[in-house]
């Protein structure tokens, strides 16, 4: 286990040294003139001299200039790419507008053609109805004429039969002879 008494005594000694109580600290020096501050200053002068002698600032500047040139080149390339992309975008936008205009024109033309087709269909339908009506009227008229002709033929046939029966019933051979003679004499006077 840890002995707390030893720890307490060490803590007291550390506190006394930190407060400056006890013996005084001696600063080391060479020849009584060169202390630690002088050695650090001389070391810094040597390091700065070496940096200047080896042209480190010029190397750093050259490195920075190269990085700046690379960045400028990348910026120029980015500007060039942006200009090309703007040009392509403008080109495709104009193509899109042209395609929209063409689509609108095609739609208008299709609507016009559709209206023309509808008008032609209406006219053709009207003409077809008129022709069919005329054909039906002609068929009805022909049927009426055929029916009238049939009725006339039947009426003429019935009238002929009735006339034959009447004539046969009312006229005898002597009456027929007088009628025939009269008709022949009428024909003779008309011919002269």
The CA-based dihedral angle spanning residues 69, 72, 77, 78, taken in that order and rounded to the nearest 10 degrees: 150
Residue 190: the pLDDT is: 67
pTM for the model stands at 0.36
**What DSSP assignment string belongs to 140-191?**
HHHHHHHHHHHHHHHHHHHHHHHHHHHHHHH--HHHHHHHHHHHHHHHHHHH
Q: Are residues 13 and 105 in the same domain?
A: no
Residue 26: the pLDDT is: 65
Q: Which domain holds residue 39?
A: 7-54
In tens, the pLDDT along 57-77 reads: 888 888 999 999 999 999 999
Domain count along the chain: 2
User: What is the DSSP code (8-state) at residue 23?
Assistant: S
In a domain, 1, yes or no: no
In a domain, 136, yes or no: yes
Q: Are residues 95 and 149 in the same domain?
A: yes
CB 37 within 8 A of CB 28: no
Considering only CA atoms, which of 46, 28, 47 is closest in space to residue 37? 28
In tens, the pLDDT along 76-86 reads: 999 999 999 99
């Amino acid at each position: 286990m840890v002995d707390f008494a030893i720890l307490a005594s060490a803590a007291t000694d550390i506190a006394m040294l930190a407060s400056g109580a006890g013996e005084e600290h001696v600063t080391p020096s060479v020849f009584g003139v060169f202390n630690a501050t002088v050695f650090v200053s001389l070391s810094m002068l040597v390091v700065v001299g070496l940096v200047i002698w080896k042209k480190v600032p010029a190397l750093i500047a050259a490195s920075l200039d190269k990085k700046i040139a690379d960045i400028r080149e990348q910026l120029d390339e980015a500007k060039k790419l942006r200009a090309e992309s703007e040009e392509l975008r403008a080109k495709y936008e104009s193509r899109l507008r042209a395609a929209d205009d063409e689509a609108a024109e095609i739609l208008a033309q299709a609507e016009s053609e559709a209206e023309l087709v509808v008008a032609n269909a209406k006219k053709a339908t009207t003409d077809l109805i008129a022709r069919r009506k005329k054909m039906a009227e002609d068929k009805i008229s022909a049927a009426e004429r055929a029916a009238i002709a049939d009725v006339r033929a039947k009426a003429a046939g019935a009238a002929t039969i009735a006339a034959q029966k009447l004539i046969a019933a009312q006229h005898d051979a002597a009456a027929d002879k007088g009628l025939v003679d009269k008709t022949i004499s009428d024909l003779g006077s008309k011919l002269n």
